[in-house]
Chains A and B, each alone.
Chain A
Amino acid sequence: MRSRHVRYAIVLVAAWLCLPATPVSAQSSDAPTTPDTLLDGSTLSDVWVHINARDWEELHTHYLEGTYYPVDFEWRGIRVRNSGIRVRGNTSRNDHKPSFRIDFNRYVTGQDFFGVNALVLNSSWHDASMLHDRLSMLLFRRMGIPAPRQAHVRLYVGANREFAGVYAVSEEVNKPFLDATFGSHDGYLYEYHRQDGDHYGFEYHGPDLGWYIPRFGPKTHESDSVANLYTPIRALVEAINDAPKSELEDKLTGYFNVNIYITEIAVQNFLAQTDGLLGDFGMNNCYLYRFARTRLSQLIPWDQDASFSSMDMPPWHNMGANVLASKIWDEPKYRAAYLKKLLEIADAAGPPAGAAGVDGWLRQEAAREYEQIRDAVHADPLTPYSSDEFEQAVAFIDQFARERADIVRQYVARVAPEMFTANRR
């Protein structure tokens, strides 16, 4: 009898010990351990920026300044204290629904958010659909080009958790991004700053390194000498200009991977991007990364709001306005490689050629993202677009996703029917 009581007691104690374990483990399995859950776009997350009411007001009043204000950043109950926030953007800067940069180590050296030291909250000021940037980055990544991850969030601010609208959250191109992408951040990273009236496209501007300083802002090795920072960029530009178009790949070996560049400009031209590497006003919205202890550089895309500009933009848009792109276009073997890449992108993004009624990846992804953000965008108190404008913009993307692949194929077939035929075989 006594031993039975002891057994009951043991069972009861064991059961009691197990009881709290169940909810804790359930909680921990839900709890994110990386920012992937925030950035993978699987859900529409809620982000709460704790900011003093006066700072929120000041942030809008002085939106043209780069002043940081202290905030706590909260996501799924995880609160990163003593972070900093500032307004960001160039042409999209505004005081109504500004874009922000959240800097996790602004006030606390080394602080990060699961390895990410900064996030961008983009208001998509120029994009009524709010989908251009995210879809573009996804297509880059789908085609093997490193590009920042993006997702949408509902932003809440202040002590009363007021809804401040839908934002696209993006990781920055910075050291953690380089670590995750290339396994190291020891190289030289530059943010390209287009200068007014420049229309720059890799033209050589002489030996003066000072010419490069305002255009290539260093994001790593910031305190290195001008010679260390800019001599390799000048050498790259010189090499691009000096290389005969027929020997482009050989002459640029060690400086630039021509095939990666071809993929990058092909993706942008497929997406009808007018403010990218072959932008209407010259090169724009990109980073340049030179790998450590080499001369090899690579471009990394940024801010693709201006994609999806038109349905029938020729997919070799502005190829002649850029030194490197024009050499690619003028040389048959590289032109062929470029056109082939366009067809690959069309296949990857759109429905298969001639397959009416079949949804391609781009349409499915656009529809998924639209479903994810629709209700929140309609409830967005600060969006500069009406609900009808949002729906129309999304409808255009849907049409673009359905038709663009075939339009690009037709363009390719027109200039290189033999390749199109070969590709189809």
Chain B
Amino acid sequence: MLPSNRAAFAATVAAVLLSVAAPVTAQSKPDGPRVRLTFDKHPSIHIGNVLTVDVRVKAQTDWRDFPAEPATIPKDVFDLHRARLGLEGTLLTRFDYQIEREFHDTTQPWRDLYVDARVVRNLKIQGGHFKIPFGLDQLTSGMDLDFNYRSLAGTYLAPGRDLGLMAHGKLFNDVVKYQAGVFRQGGANVRASERTETQSARTVAGRLVVRPWNGSRAFRSLRSFAAGIAFTDGLLPEGPNSLRGKTVPGDAFFDRFYVKGRRQRVGAEFQWRPGPMSVQGELMRARDQRQDQGLDNENLPDVVAHGWYLVSTWLVTGERKKDTITPARPFLKGGIGAVELAGRVERLGSGSHGTAVEPFPSPRAPGILLRTDSVWTAGVNWYVNEFIKLQANLIREQREAGDVVIPGQATRWSRTLGVQFGL
């Protein structure tokens, strides 16, 4: 057996053992600082009230059946989607921290790397590398997604992670949740040319989510309803750095345009989880300015990218819909686990602001041809137990350019099956 195979085998055995293990607690000497090693959902070390360290493992492998895309490299059938190891916990009861590394990504391996300090009851200050507060789908943990892949808008229009400082908290008995921060650049979900651009510029971002019926006794079914708005505003480095957009299989879909000026995003979101069901939706719009980018150095109309999605889910086995689903009756422990049906309709598009100018496919064209990708996804999620989740998705895509279906891309079907292990 090859060393890598041995390692994979050992990891699999360990994962299976961990997934069926009963909670275990180890305790150190009774009269010193109380050190406890627990093994509930994940291994944890507690050193009195000084420090807690939770070890987190996130792994996902996908089987994919994507249609052949002309002029692109065929995709691997199997994809190690996620292979992360992380530490998180609390220091001195006032500081939360998280460290997470993606071993599958060599270009941007560090995911979360931050400290979150409780300043006063309704105010926390978070500093480090973490997600810019924009986009509900983007801010949802990869292990808690309802589908194998995030929505296209959540993936490509939301900025993702960056180095920054953010104030956040909840007000009025958690009716209002706010986040406001300043970040070094514009996030990781941008073209590589922008990430490596030395003319870095700060981005500010804010998000406000309201749960008007939180804790309400009169409208119990509406308690989980939340609606919010968000924005980002930052300076763009000059160059061919317009926002990227890709199809579900990951092929470039947006053309690349020269930009200069501000990048501004606005978004609106809602989420409602009555019992085992959920409805969630988002609307996003991003504008990239093109100052002095014309062939005669004139200003060009902004590049506008927009996207939306609407998701509905139903836990057939009756569990309450939450961020992380724990089956009431795990598989092989008297039940079948939890089964969830999910559907999503979404659209991602890019064009230029205003329609007066004839569009051309050139990186400095004043008018940009509107390109859209409309996607339907149907999925079944099987939560085997609290550690393992299987997700099967059937995806239908239709791409259009200038309101005309791109030849050969009228209807494209993809199938994916993902296996997640979370600790």
Contacts and interface: CB of A to CB of B under 8 A. Distances in A.
Interface string B272-296: 0000000000000000000011111
A52 B258 contact: yes
B360 interface: yes
Interface string B345-371: 000000000000000111111000000
Given A52-B258, A54-B238, A158 B296 contact: yes
Most buried by A among B258, B294, B362: B362
A108 B365 CA distance: 11
Given A82-B360, A107-B360, A108-B360, A52 B297 contact: yes
B298 to A, nearest CB: 8
B365 A82 contact: yes
A51 B293 CA distance: 10
A340 interface: no
Contacts of A53: 292, 297
Contacts of B258: 52, 54
A159 B362 contact: no
A158 B296 CA distance: 6
Most buried by A among B258, B293, B364: B364
B297 A70 contact: no
Given A82-B360, A108-B360, A159 B365 contact: no
Most buried by B among A50, A52, A158: A52
B193 to A, nearest CB: 13
Given A107-B360, A107-B361, A108-B360, A70 B295 contact: yes
A93 interface: no
A70 B362 contact: yes
Interface string B242-263: 0000000000000000100000
Interface in A69-83: 70-72, 81-82
B362 A51 contact: no
Interface in B314-365: 360-365
Contacts of B298: 159
Nearest to A106: B362
B296 A50 contact: yes
A159 B365 CA distance: 15
A72 B362 CA distance: 11
A51 B363 CA distance: 12
Interface residues of B, number: 15
Contacts of B360: 81-82, 107-108
Nearest to A58: B239
A40 B297 CA distance: 33
Contacts of A71: 295
A50 B418 CA distance: 51
A107 B363 CA distance: 9
A70 B364 contact: yes
Nearest to A161: B296
B134 to A, nearest CB: 29
Given A50-B295, A52-B293, A82-B360, A70 B365 contact: yes
A127 B292 CA distance: 37
A65 B294 CA distance: 23
A202 to B, nearest CB: 36
A106 to B, nearest CB: 8
Interface string A49-70: 0111111000000000000001
A159 B364 contact: no
Nearest to B361: A107
Interface string B221-257: 0000000000000000010000000000000000000
Contacts of B292: 52-53
B252 to A, nearest CB: 16
Interface in A85-112: 107-108
B361 A52 contact: no
A50 B258 CA distance: 16
Interface in A109-158: 158
A55 B292 CA distance: 12
Nearest to B258: A52
A84 B362 CA distance: 9
Nearest to A51: B295
Contacts of A84: 362
A82 B362 contact: yes
A107 B295 CA distance: 14
A107 B298 CA distance: 20
Nearest to A109: B361
Nearest to B365: A82
Nearest to B358: A81
Interface string B388-410: 00000000000000000000000
A77 B364 CA distance: 21
Contacts of A81: 360
B295 A108 contact: no
Nearest to A107: B362
A53 B360 CA distance: 20
A52 B365 CA distance: 11
Contacts of B294: 52
B101 to A, nearest CB: 35
Contacts of A54: 238, 258
A72 B361 contact: no
B238 A52 contact: no
B363 A70 contact: yes
B349 to A, nearest CB: 20
Given A52-B292, A52-B294, 18 more contacts: A50-B295, A51-B295, A52-B293, A52-B296, A52-B297, A53-B297, A54-B238, A70-B362, A70-B363, A70-B364, A81-B360, A82-B360, A82-B361, A84-B362, A107-B360, A107-B362, A107-B363, A159-B295
Q: Which 5 A-B pairs have the closest CB atoms?
A: A159-B296, A107-B362, A82-B362, A50-B295, A82-B360
Interface of A: 50-55, 70-72, 81-82, 84, 107-108, 158-159
Interface of B: 238, 258, 292-298, 360-365
25 contacts: A50-B295, A51-B295, A52-B294, A52-B295, A52-B296, A52-B364, A53-B292, A53-B297, A54-B238, A55-B364, A70-B295, A70-B362, A70-B365, A72-B295, A81-B360, A82-B360, A82-B362, A84-B362, A107-B360, A107-B363, A107-B365, A108-B362, A158-B297, A159-B295, A159-B298
